[in-house]
């Protein structure tokens, strides 16, 4: 399955790709409405998620063109925007509208309404450890609730926004000792007791250590 995500903000493209880290799909990206149409003509994605406010051609205009295109009009379009132009987006032909900021569960649920996207269910392992993290250039600590190969849950009352990038540093017990994991992550979910973060740009070595730890411990 192919998903085309379209946004001129690199930070939101990173967030959307993090939302889809467990999805069985090929991710395509574009940063303008014109790019979106060109990529769609070339690759024919199964679904398109696009922003409204973009240079060259905005998301509303791009949706209208896609809906009139004989080879692309059947592709469902979801508009993801910080604007309040929901009615306009739906009139242009969008199948759904998501208001930014959007969390992981809402984003994936909207996609699943229109295409049978396969999403892996990660094994989550409890980890009794402290995590050091840097958010907005301020170093803080939080208790880890659990961890998987793709993300971590931090128990903290310190406020963070969906989409915030965080530098993480935490230990995992491995082979009778400890292995320190350093990685970047993105906040993808808020809960009453903390935040779910998806790993972003983790090194291959750290992935291997984390996979070994998760596989060796019960959920």
What pLDDT, on the 0 to 100 scale, is given for residue 218?
A: 85
Give the model's pLDDT for residue 38.
97
Query: Which pLDDT score is estimated for 219?
Result: 82
* Exposure of 159 in the CB half-sphere (CA atoms within 13 A): 1
- Class level of CATH domain 125-216: mainly beta
Q: If DSSP states are collapsed to H, E and C, what string results for 57-121?
A: CCHHHHHHHHHHCCCCCCCCEEEEECCCCHHHHHHHCCCEEEECCCCHHHHHHHHHCCCCCCECC
List the chain residues with pLDDT less than 50: none
Q: Domain ranges for the chain, please list them.
A: 2-112, 125-216
Phi and psi of 5, rounded to 5°? -110, 135
Distance CA 166, CA 141 (A): 12
The CA distance from 73 to 182, in Å, is 44
CA 167, CA 131: separation in Å to the nearest integer?
Answer: 10
The answer regarding whether domain 2-112 maps to CATH 3.40.50.2300 reads yes
Are 166 and 198 in contact by the 8 Å Cβ rule? The answer is: no
pLDDT of 164 reads 96
Residues listed for the chain: 219
């Amino acid at each position: 399955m192919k998903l085309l995500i379209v946004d001129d903000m690199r930070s939101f493209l990173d967030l959307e790709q993090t939302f889809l880290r467990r999805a069985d799909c090929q991710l395509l990206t574009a940063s303008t409405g014109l790019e979106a149409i060109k990529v769609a003509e070339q690759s024919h994605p199964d679904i398109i998620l696009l922003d409204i406010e973009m240079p060259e051609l905005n998301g509303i205009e791009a949706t209208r063109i896609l809906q009139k295109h004989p080879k692309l009009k059947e592709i469902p379009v979801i508009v993801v925007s910080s604007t309040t132009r929901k009615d306009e987006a739906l009139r242009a032909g969008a199948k759904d509208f998501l208001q930014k900021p959007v969390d992981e569960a809402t984003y994936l649920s909207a996609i699943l309404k229109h295409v049978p996207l396969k999403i892996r269910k990660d094994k989550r392992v409890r980890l009794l450890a402290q995590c050091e993290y840097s958010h907005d250039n301020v170093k803080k600590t939080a208790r880890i609730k659990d961890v998987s190969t793709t993300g971590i849950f931090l128990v903290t009352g310190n406020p963070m926004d969906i989409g915030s990038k965080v530098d993480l540093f935490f230990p995992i017990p491995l082979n009778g000792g400890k292995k320190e994991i350093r990685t970047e992550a993105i906040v993808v979910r808020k809960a009453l007791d903390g935040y779910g973060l998806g790993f972003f740009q983790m090194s291959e070595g750290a992935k291997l250590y984390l996979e070994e730890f998760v596989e060796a411990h019960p959920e």
